[in-house]
Structure 1
Amino acid sequence: MLVTEYYDRIAASDKENLLYFLKFIANILGDTKKKVAYEEKLYDFAYFDETTKLANRNMLKNDLEQILYNRKESEKIAVFDIELDNLMMINDTFGHGIGEQIVIKSAAILENLVKNHCIIARAAEGKFIVVLPAVENTEQIEECAKSIRESFLYPLSPEEGIEALFVLISIGISVYPDDGRDAETLLKNADLAGNEAKTADNKIVFFSEQLISRIAENTLLTNKLFRSLQNDEYSLVFQPQISCQTGKTAGVEALLRWTTADNQRISPDIFIPILEQTGLIHDVGHWVLEQTLQVHNRLVKKGFPPLRFSVNLSVVQFRKKDFVLDVSKLIEECQVDPKYIELEITESMLSENFPDTIEKLVKLKELGINIVIDDFGRGYSSLHRLESIPFNRIKIDKSITDGITLKRKKAVIAEAIVSLAKTLMVDITVEGVETKEQVDFLKGIACDEIQGYYFSKPLSEEALAEFLKKEMLQAP
């Protein structure tokens, strides 16, 4: 009894000591039945995950080495590193009991999907490994990865009666023999690919040698980012949003740019994910909003009519407990009417901790701030959830805009989104507009505003002032 109680209380970090302790007790026990029971418990502890009953990392490595040993010469073997990306947030918000239920349900999804022909293991708190043996080609691997990703598109319902929760996953893949010839190397490379998958558009990444180079580059960039704000290396550019009714600028979107101390221009697609991973996005995001409000004030002082300024929010930035309070303080310090502030959220934010998201959006709306759902049509949005979200505007993603004059399906999607916006009584802005044909089509389906290179590229503060000045001089 004392041994059992000791086992139940001991921390996971002391597992190595626990194994030694159980082994010692099992060896000195004279009772054969008790010795067998303890040895069985020792075996389960050493090779199986207690929560999901799946194999753990120890068993996984043994099984993978056995598969590699028994493989046929021409066979490929795929290793999937599957991470539950928002499990930590679920644990922090709802407690570890709910998080554990999500892990168990996630394990059940994977078992139902691939258990007949794969090895499945829980390798860490929010990480599963799936080994797909005897693979014929890359297409087969891709299909399996897509099936896994699609199986998590729908929310999971914990047993505690709370609302169903979306689980965000990313998948890194390594393949024998190209990415490794032993279990340790294949698992390591799948893990590296998995880290890259967190910021990939489709959340699926295959390991490659180029990936190693990118990781090295990102490490160097990360070191530079820690000094970038204090070194004044950031700048903002502003892209006008043109009213379809008046043909004049109705608002502008503030966009962040980074030029390193050695004069390298780094794409936002590269440095913003690193800002999010390191937590630097909180300070940088605060700087972006502060600078944007100051630009708004300077333009008004120059005699331009007040314009609506849009600022993009990061998912990580939005999670901060005091985010709304920080925004409120900035508005007070800069003395800007909140009706001229627009904060853009992405569809992915709507799948993370929905109650907390709604609470923060309601508070922002109460301050008088406008809320925009950015890149609409690119992610996965529940129409039922849209109905309960306090927002003022939808922005149609460039991926839809690009094909509206060439592909009937894209045109139909654009029309449907505009119709949805009108039904919900919110405005609509279309991004990425580059041709007159696109402008004419969008005006024809009653879009409110258009943004893109057809009217203007993103401009510096000085160039924006010149753009607005020319606009004011034009005949109405």
Structure 2
Amino acid sequence: TKEQEMLEKISTTFISVNTENVKEKVDEMFGMIAKILNFDNAYLFELDAGYEIATILNMYVKDIESKSPPFYPGTKFKTADFPEVKPLIAQNLPILCEDVSNISVEKAENQRNFFASRGINSFFALPITVDKKTDGFFVIEYRDRSDKRFTESRLYFLKIIANILGDARKKILYEERIYNIAYFDETTKLANRNMLKKNLEQILHVRKESEKIVIFDVELGNLRMINDTFGHRIGEQVVIESAAILKNLMKEECSISRIAEGKFIIIMPTAENAEQIQECAEKIVDAFSNPVLPKEGREALFVTVVIGISIYPDDGKDVNTLLQNADLAAYEARSNNENIVFYTKRLESNIAENTLFTNKLFKSLQNKEFFLEFQPQISCDTGKTVGIEALLRWTSDGNKRIPPDRFIPILEQTGLIYDVGLWVLEQALQEHNRLAAKGFPSLRVSVNLSVVQFRNENIVSDISKRIEKSRVNPKYIELEITESMFSKNPVEVLKKLHELKKLGISIAIDDFGRGYSSLNRLKLIPFDRIKIDKDIIDYIDLERKLAPLTEIIILLARAFKAGVTAEGVETKEQADFLRSISCDEIQGYHFSRPLSPEALEEFLKKNYQ
């Protein structure tokens, strides 16, 4: 029959339907079936997730050239205004109205007027089903009242059309899902790495080399800690809120992608100069100065961000190079506790060197490449040495000395610091015993404890074993910690500190004054000494700008019945000032640089004369 041929033709046409041609194919289908069913109007509606809004996707109007249609694709309707749509959605049943005048004025006056005002006297509406769920509906309208003799055959034909539309819709939705999985991040709905590369390729393709493009690699520095402490559900909320902050902050022409758990890429398509780029980066950092998640039965959550920046064409002319160099800059920012770092050629060589160092450090302890130097700590009252700080040194490739700030962060990142730290403690205790055997007064020996070491559950027992083995009186042992230890699991850190105190050793807070210090936290820490950071001591000579702060720190230590050591003392003026404000001890190049065991012995001989 003519209807059967038409259906076969439509089915064949829809085999190749996709997101790009679906509108064209549905419009073509409406024109074809209009010749069979002879309707005046046809509409394909899409329903939103809550079934509250219906949107026209496709429409057909007979003799559209001679009239102006009241609706267009994209027109939206509230389903609540059309009560008869409810069974179509809820029960997945078609709606047949052979005569609009039969619609109840009392129950659905608006609906009746909606059709009658446009000269429509009958209509059919059929649900479009995808995976047993109503996804939309298909409506045809007649200006004439429907002839009941043809109702059954029309309905049969329309049901087949609705099935074809449902299958097409299902295929389109699956295509969209695959596309979204391939190009968008599920959690934030931002573009993912694939879409980022695609977008950046397009921007670079039309860009002149005289025009700058800026890549901001924005990383949430403490997301892993948040996940570990509060769980991944909270961590995911932090990521979603962080994405919202970035979207609200950046202009529309900037594109934002999420390419890893706590890593976002922002493309700024134009920039005039480095100052503008720096200002934009600072705005991103400042945007995270308030809690990302407010307090809800737990501490308010702050997020720390680090930003690496690369610029086209100076730092790369292709997608991979620009992204890699922004990543290298972010890595540098993370490693050096900086917020913002611009890519430079030097970074690349530094990171290559870090990789080389990492490989070598795994064998350095075994190859006996580490050694210690000791810096004397001098009493302000007597001028005599009362303690020594053990400082780790490393020689690689023969006698090439590597600066501590280059290799210690790598030891921490790799976890090697734990075993190396215990080796430092053993060697420092041996030096204490060696000096005592030489007849020198017993000196306090200070050893630095890394945050990474402290996270190990065996740290207390391992330290205790080495003290017992050395037979050094614990009262001559001082372990130096920094306040950064309390950034994660502070309760556990305090527990371990109290256990260490039970061994009889002393605790010193190192680098005091460098970062944020909390008085409430200080009250909880069982410390015996504060070591004033070198940055504060340096300013004593510069019109004594930070001199009052130094005095306040000493008064604070006194309130806690703790001693004070000033680090990095390099001039006589600094030493004299520190004595005048009753500082207990001085450590720095003014008295002595770090010394080998042999040089330390010579220094002590002269110092005790």
Cα separation, 2, equivalents of 1:152 and 1:330: 44
* Structure 2: gaps (5+ residues): 1-163
Q: Does 1:364 align with 2:525?
A: no
Amino acid across the alignment from 1:263: N
Q: Does 1:331 align with 2:459?
A: no
Residue in structure 1 matched with residue 354 of structure 2 by the alignment: 218
User: Deviations along 1:421-471, whole A, 9 cap, x unmatched?
Assistant: 333433221111111110111122222211101111111122223322333
Residue in structure 2 matched with residue 255 of structure 1 by the alignment: 391
Cα separation, 1, equivalents of 2:165 and 2:602: 87
Cα separation, 1, equivalents of 2:570 and 2:252: 50
Cα separation, 2, equivalents of 1:142 and 1:391: 40
Amino acid across the alignment from 2:417: I
2:189 aligns with one of 53, 59, 62: 53
The question of whether the paired residues in 2 share the 8 Å contact of 1:173 and 1:193 is answered with yes
Amino acid across the alignment from 1:175: I
Change (3 A) 1:44 1:287: same
Structure with the larger RCO, 1 or 2 (CA within 8 Å, 6+ apart): 1
Q: Does 1:139 align with 2:275?
A: yes
Structure 2 counterparts to residues 276-291 of structure 1, below 5 A: 276-291=412-427
**Per the alignment, in what secondary structure is the counterpart of residue 336 of structure 1?**
coil
| Post-superposition offset of 1:154 | 6.0
Residue in structure 1 matched with residue 585 of structure 2 by the alignment: 449
**Per the alignment, in what secondary structure is the counterpart of residue 321 of structure 1?**
coil
Cα separation, 2, equivalents of 1:302 and 1:98: 59
1:195 aligns with one of 324, 331, 340: 331
1:381 aligns with one of 509, 517, 525: 517
Change (3 A) 1:104 1:361: farther
Change (3 A) 1:285 1:106: farther
The question of whether the paired residues in 2 share the 8 Å contact of 1:433 and 1:451 is answered with yes
Cα separation, 1, equivalents of 2:507 and 2:251: 44
| Post-superposition offset of 1:268 | 0.6
1:82 aligns with one of 218, 236, 248: 218
Q: Does 1:240 align with 2:359?
A: no
Q: Does 1:294 align with 2:422?
A: no
| Post-superposition offset of 1:158 | 6.9
Cα separation, 2, equivalents of 1:155 and 1:196: 25
Residue in structure 1 matched with residue 486 of structure 2 by the alignment: 350
**Per the alignment, in what secondary structure is the counterpart of residue 91 of structure 1?**
helix
What is the TM-score with the length of structure 1 in the denominator? 0.85
Change (3 A) 1:236 1:134: same
| Post-superposition offset of 1:294 | 1.6
| Post-superposition offset of 1:167 | 4.0
1:272 aligns with one of 379, 400, 408: 408
The question of whether the paired residues in 1 share the 8 Å contact of 2:378 and 2:586 is answered with yes
User: Deviations along 1:149-185, whole A, 9 cap, x unmatched?
Assistant: 4454566557663334554443221111101122222
Residue in structure 1 matched with residue 343 of structure 2 by the alignment: 207
The question of whether the paired residues in 1 share the 8 Å contact of 2:209 and 2:313 is answered with no
User: Deviations along 1:30-83, whole A, 9 cap, x unmatched?
Assistant: 534434443343333233222233322222223333443455664322212222
The question of whether the paired residues in 2 share the 8 Å contact of 1:86 and 1:352 is answered with no
Structure 2 counterparts to residues 17-36 of structure 1, below 5 A: 31-36=167-172
Change (3 A) 1:352 1:77: farther
Cα separation, 1, equivalents of 2:247 and 2:556: 38
The question of whether the paired residues in 2 share the 8 Å contact of 1:156 and 1:166 is answered with yes
| Post-superposition offset of 1:139 | 1.9
| Post-superposition offset of 1:264 | 0.6
What is the TM-score with the length of structure 2 in the denominator? 0.67
1:62 aligns with one of 173, 190, 198: 198
Larger Rg: 2
Cα separation, 1, equivalents of 2:424 and 2:223: 29
Change (3 A) 1:307 1:121: same
The question of whether the paired residues in 2 share the 8 Å contact of 1:98 and 1:158 is answered with no
Change (3 A) 1:394 1:166: farther
| Post-superposition offset of 1:272 | 1.1
The question of whether the paired residues in 2 share the 8 Å contact of 1:166 and 1:352 is answered with no
| Post-superposition offset of 1:194 | 1.8
1:405 aligns with one of 541, 546, 555: 541
Q: Percent identity?
A: 67
User: Deviations along 1:101-141, whole A, 9 cap, x unmatched?
Assistant: 33334334434443556322211012122223311111222
| Post-superposition offset of 1:361 | 2.5
Residue in structure 1 matched with residue 477 of structure 2 by the alignment: 341
User: Deviations along 1:403-426, whole A, 9 cap, x unmatched?
Assistant: 212144322332333333333433
Q: Does 1:124 align with 2:260?
A: yes
| Post-superposition offset of 1:89 | 3.8
Cα separation, 2, equivalents of 1:154 and 1:395: 31
**Per the alignment, in what secondary structure is the counterpart of residue 373 of structure 2?**
strand
User: Deviations along 1:357-406, whole A, 9 cap, x unmatched?
Assistant: 33333332333332222222222333433333332222222122112121
**Per the alignment, in what secondary structure is the counterpart of residue 130 of structure 1?**
strand
Cα separation, 2, equivalents of 1:156 and 1:296: 49
Amino acid across the alignment from 2:372: L
